[in-house]
Amino acid sequence: MVNVAILGFGTVGSGVAEVIRKNGEHISERVANQIALKYILDVRDFPDSPFADKIIHDFSVIEQDPEVEVVVETIGGARIAWEFTRRALSAGKSVVTSNKELVATHGYELMQLAKEKNVSYLFEASVGGGIPILKPIRSCLAANELQEITGILNGTTNYILTRMIRAGLSFEEALKEAQANGYAEQNPAADIEGHDACRKICILSSLGFGRQVSPEQVPTQGITDITLSDVDFARSAGMKIKLLGRALRRESDGRVCAYVAPHLVSDESPLANVEGVFNAITVVGDAVGSVMFYGQGAGKMATASAVVADVMEAARAKRYIASNCWEAGGEDVVYSSDEISSRWYVRVGDELDVPGAKRLHAPNAPEGESAWVTDKACTAPVMAAALNGRDVKVMFRVLE
């Protein structure tokens, strides 16, 4: 018997309890051991929940119970979740989480602690919800030197962009609709400003390339400046606008450039056809070429199923899993996105030519503005110099 405690009975935490109950027999069979839910920690009581008898309010009960082998942390954030994770690992318990903020900021330190205590710290659900991505990277693709990871990592912004593209809604209208449908939070900043995607590309980059990449090393641009005319301009070029998280490894010194920004993506690219709340992540390796993982990137049961799969792995391994780790970060891990050349999309507040660029057309674009795609690739500083003095409304890369 493997006893599990869940920290935080919110959306994902209650989903984990449900998956364990619903598929318990099947799960225990596969682990060749019974997975039993012993405690659920929350500040609230849930008298009407079928799990009411599991609810406790004092973390030290879990910490001090030697029967608890696996702790599921679904509190979120990097404050109390951080403290409880450290205490659980220190007490010799494996920890499984969907908490991208905590892994992106303190992943290395927590994995070191797990290693020291010979337990697991697993977080498949922190990227892409239920989509298998971290384990395939560390396992199936392990014989490759990875070269690039590029993904649509945030379902909320992809939903908003899809509704702008498909239904002609404005950004504000699409955001309101996303909120009404439960796809966006009342305070949508973390999604629309790109911070959620930033945390995810940090985790992907750290795991894929081997050293901690931290959010402050990742330039992050959201979608708040994108207008319907940008969508129309893109369409006239056979392109779609997508918010991408990217991590590129430089062959010469192994440094990584990670950033989050909107991109023009050709209609022919598999990423262009990823719509609504779906996520997709492409991974490029030296042997495998390009592979893509696709599915709903969020959702209670999908995310919970990824958490439970990690619980199963921790229950089976009963030790530190060496393949699931990366080395310490540092300034020498990254290089600047200013060094990356690409073609550029730019919308400016006048009708003057942008040198070396092709003008795009949109029937309802605001008068006095124009949008352009450059013919040749160049870096951001070169592009900025070329646009010096111009009123740049929005500027981002074309995905090559």
Q: So which residues are the catalytic ones?
A: 200
- One-letter amino acid at 135 equals K
Buried/exposed code over 367-395 (b: 16+ C-beta within 10 A; e: otherwise): eebbbbbbeeebbbeebeebbeeeeebbb
Which positions from 318 through 357 interact with its own copies, judged by CB under 8 A? 322-323
Among 2, 4, 19, 234, binds its own copies (CB under 8 A): 19
Q: Which run of H or E residues covers position 4?
A: strand 2-7
Among 80, 91, 140, 386, binds its own copies (CB under 8 A): 140
Which positions from 191 through 250 interact with its own copies, judged by CB under 8 A? none
User: Considering only 191-199, 305-313, 329-337, 374-382, which stretch makes contact with its own copies by CB under 8 A?
Assistant: 305-313
With 0-12 / 13-18 / 19 or more C-beta atoms within 10 angstroms meaning exposed / middle / buried, residue 283 is buried
- One-letter amino acid at 32 equals A
Confirm or reject binding of residue 273 to its own copies (CB under 8 A).
Answer: yes
Q: How far from chain centre, in Å, is Cα 213? A: 13
Q: Looking at beta carbons only, is 227 or 305 nearer to its own copies?
A: 305
Among 260, 302, 387, 395, binds its own copies (CB under 8 A): 302
Distance of alpha carbon 198 from alpha carbon 259, whole angstroms: 7
Q: How do 68-73 and 94-97 pair as beta strands?
A: parallel
Distance of alpha carbon 71 from alpha carbon 36, whole angstroms: 12
User: Considering only 104-112, 226-234, 311-319, 360-368, which stretch makes contact with its own copies by CB under 8 A?
Assistant: 311-319
**Sheet order of strands, 121-122 included:** 55-56, 35-41, 2-7, 68-73, 94-97, 121-122
User: Considering only 47-55, 93-101, 170-178, 282-290, which stretch makes contact with its own copies by CB under 8 A?
Assistant: 282-290
Nearest partner of 272 among 146, 128, 166, judged by Cα: 166
Confirm or reject binding of residue 313 to its own copies (CB under 8 A).
Answer: yes
Confirm or reject binding of residue 182 to its own copies (CB under 8 A).
Answer: no
Q: Looking at beta carbons only, is 128 or 222 nearer to its own copies?
A: 128
Are 164 and 226 within 8 A, CB to CB?
yes
Q: How many residues does the chain have?
A: 400
Confirm or reject binding of residue 43 to its own copies (CB under 8 A).
Answer: no
User: Considering only 22-30, 93-101, 165-173, 192-200, which stretch makes contact with its own copies by CB under 8 A?
Assistant: 22-30
How many residues touch its own copies under the rule CB under 8 A: the total is 49
Which positions from 106 through 135 interact with its own copies, judged by CB under 8 A? 124, 130-132, 135
Confirm or reject binding of residue 317 to its own copies (CB under 8 A).
Answer: no
Among 40, 68, 306, 314, binds its own copies (CB under 8 A): 306
- Report in angstroms how near the CB of residue 37 gets to its own copies at its nearest: 13
From residue 134, alpha-carbon distances to 55, 128, 130, 250, 325 in Å are 31, 9, 11, 21, 11
Determine the 3-state secondary structure of 132 from DSSP. coil
| Dihedral Cα 344, 349, 350, 352, nearest 10 deg | -20
Among 11, 176, 293, 329, binds its own copies (CB under 8 A): 293
Angle at 226 between CA 245 and CA 205, to 5 degrees: 5
Q: How do 146-152 and 278-285 pair as beta strands?
A: antiparallel
Q: Looking at beta carbons only, is 170 or 290 nearer to its own copies?
A: 290
Q: Looking at beta carbons only, is 117 or 135 nearer to its own copies?
A: 135
- Report in angstroms how near the CB of residue 282 gets to its own copies at its nearest: 8
**What residues make contact with its own copies under the rule CB under 8 A?**
15, 19, 22-23, 26-27, 30, 32, 124, 130-132, 135-136, 139-145, 270, 273, 285-296, 299, 301-302, 304-306, 308-309, 311-313, 316, 322-323
